[in-house]
Amino acid sequence: MNRALEIFKSWQVWVLLLVILGAFVSINPKFGITGVRIAGVSANSSAELNGLQTGEKIIDVNGIPINDLNSYNSAIANITPNDTVKLTTDMGEFSFLADEKDNATFLGLDVQKIPTTNLKQGIDLVGGVRVMLKPSGEATAQQMNDIISITERRLNTFGLSDISVKQVNDLSGNRYLLVEMAGTTEQQAAKLIAQQGKFEAKIGNDSIFVGGSDIKSVCTSADCAGVRNCAQTDSGWGCQFQFKVDVSPESAKKHADLTRNMGTINVNGNYYLEKKLDLYLDDKLVDSLYISEALKGVESTSFVIEGPGAGNTKDAALQDALTRMKEMQTVLKTGALPVKLDIVKIDVISPTLGAQFLRYAILALVGAIAAVGVIIFVRYKKIKIASAVLLTGLSEVFIILGVAAAIRWNLDLAAIAALIATVGTGVDSQIVITDEILSGEKVQMGWKERIKRAFFIIFGSYATVLAAMLPLYGFGTAMLKGFAIITVLGVSIGVFITRPAFAKIVEILLKT
């Protein structure tokens, strides 16, 4: 009892306890929470049109209670296109028709487990799509910043959630763009990100306006955007979307000058200018629009952009038209990328697989700490030393997680690996401290001198770790950066917080 009181009188131990308390507040664990929530609703989907919104907790689907991702996946497994989906959330009851997309049932919902802490988990653990892209040719630092900014705006405009866009470098200094996101498919991700988005409207060979500076506004509301008509075709169904754009006065003047002396033609009783307005996206012709005779020589700052959608059924064609319209609106609103991006690699991880990764990672971390405790006990044959090592190691991990929650760092498999490595590094230091204290007893050296010798060795090891991690952070890929950051955090917390507390605890415990 006296030794316990002496331990809690130590300022080193109180610093450790206060930091642990701060980590607890930062992590903010919530107990007893189950279920899934809507992390994203696809734009113009049946679910969105019927009022479902991001953040709502799903209670049941077609009467089936939803407690986790597995129960949600089971509940929607037998839903087919055009089925009525009855979904209850904490905001009320909703009914909508299931859509079809890429020959599969599409509900338009991205769901995720309701977070029980403030810890952010990377897509390795919660599922999603990771895309690595490389600029075609050389890209300057400013161009990379522009690419990141435009890509973020595109993905946010398209309604995707949990987005991370950042530049990473390899050891040769080559620049890459790494995009991580939940709530999308591999095909959609590739189309949204890799598309340069260079938009141009031409009459003949003359450019009228381009995306970016010439586009002043893009309509997305129902009164000036939407699918206007659908009709059956020989190969299925086709729909036509329309939306209005406002262009600069300079573009309007170009249009007036080019059309002032242009002839007209009769098409099914309607009169149009003899040349069409051709729309190009990334130098590919996507549509040709008739120009009304009333616009001849007129400096109009408003144009109607049209485009097709197709599918085997009317609903499929409607959904395709809505998706194409949203993609073109997004490109026009966000502008073109300064350089073209080539996809180097795409990784897709399902939420179920991510949950398995997390479970195995936690087991590996707990197993590593337990193994350390056994080894320490075998070495010193003293349960109190092994207990001190285990408690210090667990405290260190908890504090690292608290710091990660505070800085909103995504925890992925690389971060878990860094945690395990940190536990090993911490044990090395604790063994050095314990050995110095025990050896000091034999040569009658004061405990302050023993601790000083131990920390001289520990700081040397700390400097070595920093020297090894800095190149990984400066030149490594995203995963290596994450490993480096968590490792540096871990060893820094150990050297300045947990090791001094451990040294004081062991010094008191080993007093005779």
- Phi then psi for residue 195, to 5 deg, are -65, 125
176 Cβ neighbours under 8 A, 6+ residues apart:
132, 133, 134, 167, 168, 169, 170, 344, 477
Domain of 102: which CATH number?
2.30.42.10
Strand (E) or helix (H) holding 453: helix 447-475
8, pLDDT greater than 90: no
Q: What is the CATH number of the domain that holds 420?
A: 1.20.1640.10
CA 349, CA 478: separation in Å to the nearest integer?
17
Q: 292 and 238 in one domain? A: yes
Residue 489 placed within a domain? yes
pLDDT of residue 322: 83
For 418-464, the pLDDT digits (tens) are 888 787 777 777 777 777 777 655 445 555 666 666 666 677 777 87
Report whether 308 contacts 240 (CB < 8 A): yes
**DSSP state string for 56-100:** PEEEEETTEE--SHHHHHHHHTT--TT-EEEEEETTEEEEEE-EE
What total of structural domains would you count in the chain? 3
- At 345-376, the pLDDT tens digits run 887 776 666 667 777 777 877 787 788 778 88
Structure tokens at 45: 């989907």
The pLDDT of residue 150 = 76
Task: Indicate whether 19 pLDDT > 90.
Answer: yes
CA 92 to chain centroid, in Å, comes to 29
Q: What is the pLDDT of residues 175-205, one digit of tens each?
A: 888 888 765 556 566 666 766 667 788 888 8
Alpha-carbon torsion angle 354, 359, 365, 370, nearest 10? -170
Residues 201 and 334 in one domain: yes
Question: Confidence band (pLDDT; 50, 70, 90) for 242?
Answer: confident
Which pLDDT tens digit goes with each residue over 471-508? 777 665 556 777 888 888 888 888 888 888 888 888 78
Where residue 24 falls among pLDDT bands split at 50, 70, 90?
Answer: very high
* Residues 322 and 464 grouped into a single domain: no
Distance CA(187)–CA(192), nearest Å, equals 9
Question: What percent of the chain has pLDDT above 90?
Answer: 3
What is the tens place of the pLDDT at every residue in 281-328? Answer: 777 787 787 888 888 888 888 878 777 888 878 877 887 888 778 777
Which residues constitute the domain of residue 169?
128-347
Q: How far apart are CA 252 and CA 221, in angstroms?
A: 23
| Higher pLDDT among residues 388 and 1, named by residue | 388
Residue where a domain stops, chosen among 304, 322, 347: 347
One domain for residues 334 and 294: yes
For β-strands 120-121 and 410-411, DSSP reports them as parallel
Of the residues 332, 347, 362, the one at which a domain ends: 347
Say yes or no: 323 and 434 in one domain.
no
Q: Is 139 exposed, middle or buried (0-12, 13-18, 19+ CB in 10 A)?
A: buried
Same domain, 86 and 153: no
* Residue 398, in any domain of the structure: yes
Residue 144 scores a pLDDT above 80 = yes
Neighbours of 350 (CB within 10 A): 13
- pLDDT tens sequence across 84-127: 889 898 888 888 888 887 677 888 887 877 878 888 777 777 67
Q: Which two tokens stand for residue 168?
A: 């990473």
Q: Phi/psi at 37 (nearest 5 deg)? A: -125, 160
Q: Identify which of 309, 301, 305 has the alpha carbon closest to the alpha carbon of residue 289.
A: 305
Residue 177 lies in a domain: yes
How many C-alpha atoms does 347 have within 13 Å on its Cβ side? 14
The closest of 83, 99, 2 to 43, measured between CA atoms, is 99
d(CA 381, CA 368): 19
Do 58 and 88 form a contact (C-beta atoms < 8 A)?
Answer: yes
Which of these, 160, 504, 99, 105, lies nearest to 322 by C-alpha position?
A: 99
Once rounded to an integer, what is the mean pLDDT over residues 404-423? 80
The answer to the question of residue 436 being in a domain is: yes
303 and 363 share one domain? no
Q: Output phi, psi for 322, to 5 deg.
A: -65, -40
pLDDT at 489: 86
- Mean pLDDT taken over the chain: 79
Rounded to 5°, the CA angle 264-269-274 comes to: 20
DSSP state of 114: P
Asked whether the predicted pLDDT for residue 38 surpasses 80, the reply is yes
Domain-embedded: residue 123:
no
Q: Are residues 356 and 458 in the same domain?
A: yes
What would the two tokens of residue 10 be? 């130590």
pLDDT at position 22, please?
A: 92
Of 81, 116, 151, which closes a domain? 116
Residue 58 lies in a domain: yes
The tokens for 287 are 């549509």
Tell me, yes or no, whether 74 and 133 share the same domain.
Answer: no
Distance CA 30, CA 114 (A): 10
User: Are 322 and 391 found together in one domain?
Assistant: no
How confident is residue 466, by pLDDT bands cut at 50, 70 and 90? confident
pLDDT score for 20 = 92
**Residues 9 and 85 reside in one and the same domain:** no
The answer to the question of residue 121 being in a domain is: no
Say if residue 224 is in the same domain as residue 336. Answer: yes
Instruction: Select the more confidently predicted residue: 157 or 235.
Output: 235
> 435 lies in a domain?
yes
Beta bridge partners of 279: 201, 287
Whole-number pLDDT of residue 25: 92
Percentage with pLDDT > 70 across the chain = 86
